[in-house]
Amino acid sequence: MSDVKKVVLAYSGGLDTSVIVKWLQETYNCEVVTFTADIGQGEEVEPARAKAQALGVKEIYIEDLREEFVRDYVYPMFRANTIYEGEYLLGTSIARPLIAKRLIEIANETGADAISHGATGKGNDQVRFELGAYALKPGVKVIAPWREWDLTSREKLMAYCDEHSIPVDFSKSKKKSPYSMDANLLHISYEGGILEDPWAEAEEEMWRWSVSPEAAPDEPTYVELTYEQGDIVALDGQPMKPHEVLETLNKVAGANGIGRLDIVENRYVGMKSRGCYETPGGTVMLKAHRAIESLTLDREEAHLKDQLMPKYAEVIYNGYWWSPERRMLQAAIDETQKNVSGVVRIKLYKGNVIVAGRKSEQSLFDESIATFEDDAGAYDQKDAEGFIKLNALRLRIAAGKGRQQA
């Protein structure tokens, strides 16, 4: 007999998690609590309530977490200009720690013995959910059905639904996207289908948030982003909450053909995976943030921050948001943002994000020193001679010993 009396399930209302509800009830003879998070996936989450009720679920949590998601997770990540393996803006990765946190909080509220999720045994998400859960509640039991059951195909899942009278929103005859997709306010991801062949080009019909650069308007769109201590607080002078900023940028950038990405990435579990991503707003945010930092950060501060970024990205990608190393890195990154305030003007044109201007009261750019015109003695060019000779000293000594470079 199972020692699990109650389990909190991360529940989308889709095929997989609907099957998981019934499977948990039968396999563990336990009560299931469902948790559905609205993090801006672009679909109604309220219908999940009726689906859960139809499966006999008594405790149902449906929560709008959009503001918390962008404010407490996306914004801190973008302060670091975070990209994984040079391209990926970590849209899926950054959503998992928030979901893990709420799963544990709901487990504590309801007195549940375990949590459960619908991530497969091949992916990164199982790692991210569970590392977060164990960091926040060390003794929690995690049930990962995809690592336990024998329902290893879509056909078997559908047969299970038929056998257990589980209502689903589609039939075998109804057209469904061939891709495995995951969406939130930061991005939408696509995997599977023809994308499993790295040589195959993604179909134009696949993309949902952006037009192709070829179909984008012939006239550019300008947008001004106002920063305070590293975070965007207004667009075109209009104050906005973090999630409103991202929602707006997604629409504007997507309409200009911005944010598409096609990569082969290295998963933490060891395999390579080909995925396509749409991150319109995030693509603009990255470019604009680097622009305002170029004015306001000290050179060595900026360079050290760039050295820390790949490690920070890896920590998030691999699921260690709640780790001491992420908190340590975050403290260093946030310290650099105290003077990162000002306005960046961005031009969006046919898939391109172009910095058209930047200004800040905290700017370290001194026109009187940088000018090519008469600087009235602000910079003594003769000083450069000693600077160069001192920096060349070790090179000159080595060359004097005959250590010529090839």
Mean pLDDT of the chain: 94
Helices 154-164 and 15-28: angle between axes, nearest 10 degrees: 60
10 annotated ligand binder: yes
**Beta-ladder partners of 113:** none
Q: The tokens of 212 are what?
A: 């192709």
Over residues 188-205, the pLDDT tens digits come to 999 999 999 999 999 999
> Does residue 173 carry a pLDDT above 50?
no
CA torsion 210-214-215-217 (nearest 10°) is 100
What's the CATH code, domain 6-68+91-164? 3.40.50.620
Catalytic residues: 16, 96, 125, 180
Distance CA 146, CA 157 (A): 11
Query: What pLDDT does 206 receive?
Result: 96
Contacts of 328 (CB under 8 A, 6+ apart): none
* 15 φ, ψ (degrees, to nearest 5): -60, -55
* Alpha carbon 62 to chain centroid, angstroms: 22
Over residues 261-295, the pLDDT tens digits come to 999 999 999 999 999 999 999 999 999 999 999 99
Distance CA 402, CA 406 (A): 12
17 annotated ligand binder: yes
Distance CA 357, CA 338 (A): 21
Banded pLDDT at 96 (limits 50, 70, 90) = very high
Confidence (pTM): 0.94
363 annotated ligand binder: no
Distance CA 301, CA 318 (A): 26
16 annotated ligand binder: yes
Decide: helix, strand or coil at residue 352.
Answer: strand
* Residue 24 contacts residue 32 (beta carbons within 8 Å): yes
What is the b/e burial string over 186-225, where b = at least 16 CB atoms within 10 angstroms of the residue's CB? bbbbbbeeebeeeeeebeeebbebbbeeeebeeeeeebbb
Give the pairing type, strands 352-359 and 231-235. Answer: unpaired
Domain with CATH 3.40.50.620 in the chain: 6-68+91-164
Domain with CATH 3.90.1260.10 in the chain: 180-297+339-359
Q: Which of 400, 385, 302, 406 is nearest to 79 (CA)?
A: 302
**Interval 340-359 mean pLDDT:** 98
12 annotated ligand binder: yes
Distance CA 294, CA 8 (A): 45
On whether the 180-297+339-359 domain is CATH 2.30.290.10, my answer is no
Q: How far is it between the farthest Cα atoms of the chain?
A: 86
